Amino acid sequence: MVISANGKKARAEMLALNDYAIEISDMNKWFGTFHVLRDINLNVKSGERIVVAGPSGSGKSTLIRCVNRLEEHQSGQIVVDGTELTSDLKNIDKVRSEVGMVFQHFNLFPHLTILENCTLAPIWVRKTPQKEANEIAMSFLEKVKIPEQAAKYPGQLSGGQQQRVAIARSLCMMPRIMLFDEPTSALDPEMIKEVLDTMIELADDGMTMIVVSHEMGFARQVADRVIFMDDGQIVEENEPEEFFNNPQSERTKLFLSQILGH
Amino acid sequence: MKNVLYVRKEMLAEQSPPLSSIGVIGWAKKNLFNGWLNSILTLISLFLIYSILSNLIPWLLSPTWQASSLNECREINNAIKGGGGACWGVITERWPQFIFGFYTRDQIWRPVLVFVFLLITIAPILIDRLPRKLLLLLVIFPFVAVWLLWGGSIWPQFCSFLGLLLGYCTWRSLKTGVNRGIKASQLSLLSRHPFIPVLITIVVPILWWLFLAPLVSEFLRDIFPLAIQELPSRNFGGLLLSLTIGVTAIFFSLPIGILLALGRQSNLLIVKVLCVWFIEFIRGVPLITLLFVASTLLNIFMPPGTNFDIILRVIIMVTLFSAAYLAEVVRGGLAGLDSGQYEGANALGFSYWKAQRLIIMPQALKISIPGIVSTFIGIFKDTTLVSVIGLMDPIGLTGAIRADMAWNGVYWEINLFIALLFFVFCFSMSRYSMYLEQKLQKKN
């Protein structure tokens, strides 16, 4: 990882640098005639951790999928690590090699072993020699605490283990930014913690992260900022303590009462 | 304390099951006579099987293998029992023709050698343990096979092969050129679009084949004439013809079918429309009409004097036919994949072709194995349709054989023999696909 600022002070210094990893300005997106993202403005600093919350259909997933161009935006600007996302394939490839993504349904490759899942992209996209790729993969599998599963196939692992493999697979590409698209929503309750622990560890290492999640405990513990979206717009943006204790807009209050109310 | 209702004091020892539920009796009871309806059906089936076999087996066993004409067969059968046995003499006499067509006896080593070479070539595909390097034989095999089967000078085939090699070298040098970062000023066109190297790689060998290869092979022939006896296409016949057409069509139709399936899903409108039209047109037309086009119409469109081999024309038509069906089978496999696989691949930075090759196709093809092999089997059997345009495949030969006065009137024996020939190949393909499915199933 490029950044490994462990201490809080080092992190604070880094955030003070105002070195932006992602800059989104006046961005709009439509699905057909449906206006899914409206006038999005969002800057993410290097090393910053952002949790995006909001009701389903509010455009949270679409927003982070625009960051690595899994979805195409129609107007406005998205600049990732100094590269603007346009239809230019070269820029897209460059951004995708800097941005890792973890999906709700893991999207592991079922025909490959865990180790092969982790080494496929480094070998074929980054042209890393096989031996080196294997070593990198094993080190990240150790980091997510499942090196012993390396020779198995994804279908033989539990959901939580699969999601940790998916995180390791992304990390093997040495990304500067990690996107998490509801990483725990498809998991059984007892497996959520192991995935969140992995993500917290990653955050402690200084990774720039955008996490779409309903895990409010995680947001409180890790996030620098919480962003609340509704109807394709950013409705509220605040530090976690303020966001949870003192929500400003009516929609945020309603949302929080619904998910925290039981 | 509350009263316990029941407690077992001693555990029961294990006992063997009643005799009527195990062994032959148990099996028959369970599978053949379970209930009165099944019992009746079993009895009826047994009776049918008996009545068929009791007639068929004596017919099959008729000792006419040495007979040299149908009349002789009849005499032998009449002498044993009141007639009505098979006449196997025709097989004894004609089997080489059924297999090798009209190759003369001294040239038969050539198809045999090709067949052995074919087995060696596909061995690394069938057997995992063999080294992957052997797959390179796949590239050499077509040229060697064409030379051995049609004969003539070796140099034209050699030069065609050189063209392929040339294409590969062009590709490599362009790739490494771009990778080493030959400056944008020198190769700006190349680095701008990934499609340009592909185009050059295709154009270079085609130019070679069209213009240089004939000259070079002429030249080589003059200084070093290495040739075997030339055998024209009309010598092809029997199973050799079916296998030549079938194997070539199978070999080339899978890659074409995959490309068509991908084209059909493409975002590029023109590519998509062309692929859809091609697939729908070919699937909407009977193979026979395509074969007639190959045998008659194509000549009208060709410039006069061009000699475009009839077998080659048929192979092209059968390949296209098979490719269109395979495209739909592969499309089914692609539809069976979760869209998350594409997203996962994209997010990791795989290009379209790399994602297809490493992630999408291995899974889609695995799903489509039964359909692909069915299409292969179907196309191999459909090669018998070439008899309609006058080629002497096994079915075409039956007419030729009956035209011989000695065998006029022999039907069943010949067709049974042909059926057996085809069954051997089709059944092996079917078994192999089942084995392959099980093997891939085990993996995940």
> Residue A1 has what pLDDT?
38
Residue B189's pLDDT band, with cuts at 50, 70 and 90, is low
CB contact under 8 A, B444 and A70: no
Residue A2's alpha-carbon distances to A39, A202, A240, in angstroms, are: 31, 13, 26
CB contact under 8 A, B340 and A107: yes
Does residue A74 carry a pLDDT above 90?
yes
In terms of CA atoms, which chain A residue is nearest residue B340?
Answer: A107
Distance separating alpha carbons of residues B228 and B21, to the nearest angstrom:
69
Whether chain B has a CB inside 8 Å of the CB on A133: the answer is no
E-assigned strands of A103-147?
A: none
Does residue B187 carry a pLDDT above 70?
no
CB contact under 8 A, B444 and A96: no
Of A121, A154, A155, the CB nearest to B349: A121
Average pLDDT of the segment spanning B193-197: 70
Query: H helices within B224-309, ranges in order?
Result: 238-264, 269-283, 287-292, 298-301
Whether chain B has a CB inside 8 Å of the CB on A130: the answer is no
Of B199 and B327, more confident: B327
Domain B91-102+235-444 fold: MetI-like fold (1.10.3720)
CB contact under 8 A, B343 and A100: no
Q: Which residues in chain A have Cβ-Cβ distances shorter than 8 Å to B341?
A: 107, 109
Average pLDDT of the segment spanning A108-115: 94
Of B346, B351, B444, the CB nearest to A153: B444
> At a CB cut-off of 8 Å and minimum separation 6, what does B264 contact?
B272, B275, B276, B279, B327, B331
Residue B151's pLDDT band, with cuts at 50, 70 and 90, is confident
Residue B262's alpha-carbon distances to B112, B268, B352, in angstroms, are: 38, 11, 11
Average pLDDT of the segment spanning B402-410: 86
User: Are the beta carbons of B275 and B198 closer than 8 angstroms?
Assistant: no
Q: What is the tens place of the pLDDT at every residue in A145-156?
A: 999 999 999 999
> Residue A5 has what pLDDT?
45
Does residue B278 carry a pLDDT above 50?
yes
User: Are the beta carbons of B331 and B259 closer than 8 angstroms?
Assistant: no
* Chain B residues 178-207 within an 8 A CB cutoff of chain A: 194
Distance separating alpha carbons of residues A60 and A234, to the nearest angstrom:
9
CB contact under 8 A, B349 and A96: yes
Does residue A7 carry a pLDDT above 80?
no
> Residue B129 has what pLDDT?
82
Report percent pLDDT > 70 for chain B: 93
Does residue B56 carry a pLDDT above 60?
yes
Q: What angle do CA B426, B431, B437 make, to 5 degrees?
A: 130
CB contact under 8 A, A109 and B344: yes
> Residue B107 has what pLDDT?
87
Residue B45's pLDDT band, with cuts at 50, 70 and 90, is very high
Q: Which residues in chain B have Cβ-Cβ distances shorter than 8 Å to A107?
A: 338, 340-341, 343-344, 347
Structure tokens at B44: 């009826």
Of A139 and B17, more confident: A139
Taking residue A54's Cβ as centre, other Cβ atoms within 10 Å add up to 25
Q: What is the mean pLDDT of chain A?
A: 90
Does residue B191 carry a pLDDT above 60?
no
Q: Give B315→chain A minimum CA distance, Å.
A: 35
Q: Which residues in chain A have Cβ-Cβ distances shorter than 8 Å to B358?
A: 120, 124
Of B194, B338, B346, the CB nearest to A70: B346
Does residue B444 carry a pLDDT above 70?
no
Residue A4's pLDDT band, with cuts at 50, 70 and 90, is very low
pTM, entire model: 0.85
* Chain B residues 309-368 within an 8 A CB cutoff of chain A: 338, 340-341, 343-344, 346-351, 354, 358-359, 362-363, 366
Average pLDDT of the segment spanning A94-122: 94
Does residue A3 carry a pLDDT above 70?
no
Listed residue (B407, B357, B382, B353) closest to B90, CA to CA: B407
> Residue B185 has what pLDDT?
47
What H or E segment, with its residue span, contains residue A150?
A: none
User: Are the beta carbons of B331 and B265 closer than 8 angstroms?
Assistant: yes
Q: Give A8→chain B minimum CA distance, Å.
A: 31
Q: Return the residue in A61, A91, A109 with the most chain B beta carbons within 10 A, the one to mutate for interface testing.
A: A109
All structural domains of chain B with their residue ranges:
23-90, 91-102+235-444
Residue B190's pLDDT band, with cuts at 50, 70 and 90, is low
Q: What is the tens place of the pLDDT at every residue in B18-35?
A: 777 777 888 888 888 888
Q: Give A49→chain B minimum CA distance, Å.
A: 20
Q: Give A151→chain B minimum CA distance, Å.
A: 11
Q: What is the tens place of the pLDDT at every residue in A169-213?
A: 999 999 999 999 999 998 998 899 999 999 999 998 889 999 999
Of B351, B354, B444, the CB nearest to A155: B444
> At a CB cut-off of 8 Å and minimum separation 6, what does B176 contact?
none
CB contact under 8 A, A124 and B444: no
Whether chain B has a CB inside 8 Å of the CB on A88: the answer is no
Q: What is the mean pLDDT of chain B?
A: 86
Whether chain B has a CB inside 8 Å of the CB on A173: the answer is yes
User: Are the beta carbons of B193 and B219 closer than 8 angstroms?
Assistant: no
Distance separating alpha carbons of residues A119 and A171, to the nearest angstrom:
11
Distance separating alpha carbons of residues A254 and A23, to the nearest angstrom:
29
Distance separating alpha carbons of residues A35 and A33, to the nearest angstrom:
6
Q: Return the residue in B175, B342, B348 with the most chain A beta carbons within 10 A, the one to mutate for interface testing.
A: B348
Angle between helices B137-150 and B109-126 (to 10 degrees): 170
Whether chain B has a CB inside 8 Å of the CB on A200: the answer is no
Q: Which residues in chain B have Cβ-Cβ distances shorter than 8 Å to A154?
A: 444
Q: Which residues in chain B have Cβ-Cβ distances shorter than 8 Å to A70?
A: 343, 346-347
